[in-house]
Structure 1
Amino acid sequence: MGGKYRITGDAYPRMRRPRKHRRLVLAGIGAVAALGLAGWGTLQLIDVFTGGDKSAAAADHKRDCPTAKPSAAPAKALPKPAAIKVNVYNATTRSGLAKDAAAELKKRGFTIGEVGNASKEYDKKVPGAGVLLGAPTAKSGSFTVLGAQLTGAVEKTDARKTAEVDLILGAKFKAFSTPREATAAVAALTKPAPAPSPSC
């Protein structure tokens, strides 16, 4: 064999794969990769403008958001005015104030006990609208109902064992709350607060 492929004994001919075939393979791989990237980018743009898969997003949101807890149990029922015995005392210089106040409370359903002037401990020593005085147990019942009738009354407890409550009228007492205002105040206290909705 002669010419380019002549064997001389000290070298062998080198058979190389045509370079054109390799270029075609690389070009094909590049084209597939480019098409894949273009398709992925198109899907991302579609999701941006359409909001993506709303059902899947809602499911993820529901799964991540904690379950709402039930609202708190209703507050303990308050006593009716008729079940509250009220002693009305006047700690001001205005005569007849305790009698008038007792008459008004009786109209609103309260049971009236003693009516008269306040003891020396409180006489002319109540600068506010009034003082509610009773046993510690009155704080969670009688004070709430009676206090709704008189805005600004101060609550105090003593060592008495009876359930009756003293209403000591002070210097700033002008009038009781209107029946509508008192009813609304009691209703607001007995209505349980709704549970907060989840923030997520």
Structure 2
Amino acid sequence: MTEGTPGIPPRIPPKPRLSPKDLHRQQAKDERAAARAAEQAVKDAKFEQRQALKHSTDITVFNGHHVIGARQLKEAFPDDPDDAVENPVRFRHQLVHGITLTVLAAVLVAAVVLAVLVSRGQLKIFAGDSTAAPTPHCPTGTFDYPANGTVHVNVYNSTRREGLATGVADQLAQRGYLVDSVKNKATNYRGTAVVVSGTKGQGAAFNLQRNVAGAGTDYVQDDRSDATVDIYLTSSYTDLVAPPLVDQTPGQLSCPRFSPTPSATTTAPGSVPAPAAPAPAVPAP
């Protein structure tokens, strides 16, 4: 009987025997495949767990993360009523912290109150400059009337009348004055006008006062070092004295704040002295 005859099973060739070296390689290969399969199984399990958390309806889970509530925090960090007594260092730190916050709050409140008082003019702060501020007074000397062409003047409109300073500046320029600045600038004075200068500009201020019509033109001295003069036009201003009628005789500056009745030489001819005006704040230069 030959191989392949019915009733006789076919002959299975025997497996080739592996050498020890090949056998070791095969075992290592099988172990790596098993390790990869186990690692993949772990990853799949974690992925399934994340997906389950992400689609969970539990309010303690948000976007796949567990949310810790106040109860869990309190359980993790319980209050210790005797902690301040048992830990004096921590108690001192808390005490210093509380005192510091209280002092800072008091300083902040004081700063706000001080700022409000300063803004309202109820409190004046001196910068500590060694140069004393000029004392308000009315010069008592007699001044000659200087030529108009020697007077440098700044014209300020302190009213709501549009173009007032420009119009007066044009008139002064026609009379030969040297007009330096024309703009809007406020003043607290309520007379006809107020003329401001330093010591060197008192003669020029006297000149301008003689050219303003009506009584009540006041003079204020500041600490400027040049001979320029500022004239502030208020709501009571009417016009300049006509050039032929300007009194050019020597005289004194008019200071209604300090002189209830100005002398006749400090007002335009024919004008009636007005009662004393309230003391104004010194305008800015």
For each residue in 1:123-172, what CA deviation from the matched residue of structure 2 results, as whole angstroms up to 9, or x when unmatched?
xx331110100102322x11111111114310001011111100100110
Which whole-Å deviations, capped at 9, do the CAs of 1:76-134 have from their partners, x for residues lacking one?
Answer: 64421111000000001111000000000111111101001014xx1xx3311101001
Structure 1 residue 188, shift from structure 2 partner: 5.7
Partner of 2:239: 175
User: Residues 158 and 165 (structure 1 numbering): CA distance in 2 closer, same or farther, change over 3 Å?
Assistant: same
Distance 1:117 1:188, change over 3 A: same
User: What is the SS of the residue equivalent to 2:232?
Assistant: strand
Are residues 112 and 128 of structure 1, via their aligned partners in 2, closer, same or farther at CA, if it must alter by over 3 Å?
same
Q: Over aligned residues, Cα RMSD in angstroms?
A: 1.9
The answer to whether residue 194 in structure 2 is matched with residue 131 in structure 1 is yes
1:112 paired residue number: 179
CA contact 2:144–2:249 (8 Å) conserved in 1: no
Give the structure with higher Rg (CA).
Answer: 2
Contact 1:84 1:164 (C-alpha < 8 Å) held by counterparts: yes
How many residues align? The count is 109
Which of residues 169, 172, 184 is equivalent to 1:102?
169
Q: What is the aligned-residue identity percentage?
A: 27
1:161 aligns with 2:225: yes
Q: Which is bigger in relative contact order (C-alpha 8 A, separation at least 6)?
A: 1
Query: Are the equivalent residues in 2 in contact too, given 1:89–1:166 (CA < 8 A)?
Result: yes
Task: Provide closer, same or farther for how the CA distance between residues 128 and 77 of structure 1 changes in structure 2, counting only shifts above 3 A.
Answer: closer
2:211 match: secondary structure: coil
Give the 3-state SS of the residue equivalent to 1:142 in structure 2.
helix
Alignment match, 2:210: 148
Matched residue type, 2:176: G
Q: Give the Cα separation in 2 of the matches to 1:115 and 1:98.
A: 6
The AA in structure 1 aligned to 2:238 is K
What residue is the counterpart of 1:186 in the other structure? 248
Q: Distance in 1 between matches of 2:245 and 2:162?
A: 27
The ranges of structure 1 where at least 4 consecutive aligned residues each deviate by more than 4 angstroms after the TM superposition are none
Structure 2 spans left out of the alignment, 5+ residues: 1-141, 253-285
Distance 1:157 1:147 in 2: 14
Deviations 1:36-76 (A, max 9, x none): xxxxxxxxxxxxxxxxxxxxxxxxxxxxxxxxxxxxxxx76
Answer yes or no: is the 8 Å Cα contact 2:155–2:182 preserved in 1: yes
Determine the C-alpha separation between the residues in 1 that align with 2:184 and 2:143. 34
1:84/1:111 contact within 8 Å kept: yes
Superposition TM-score, scaled by structure 2 size: 0.36
CA distance in 2, matches of 1:188, 1:168: 23
Is the 1:144–1:186 Cα contact (8 Å) retained in structure 2? no
Give me the TM-score of the superposition, normalised by structure 1: 0.51
Partner Cα separation in structure 2 for residue 76 and residue 174 of structure 1 = 25
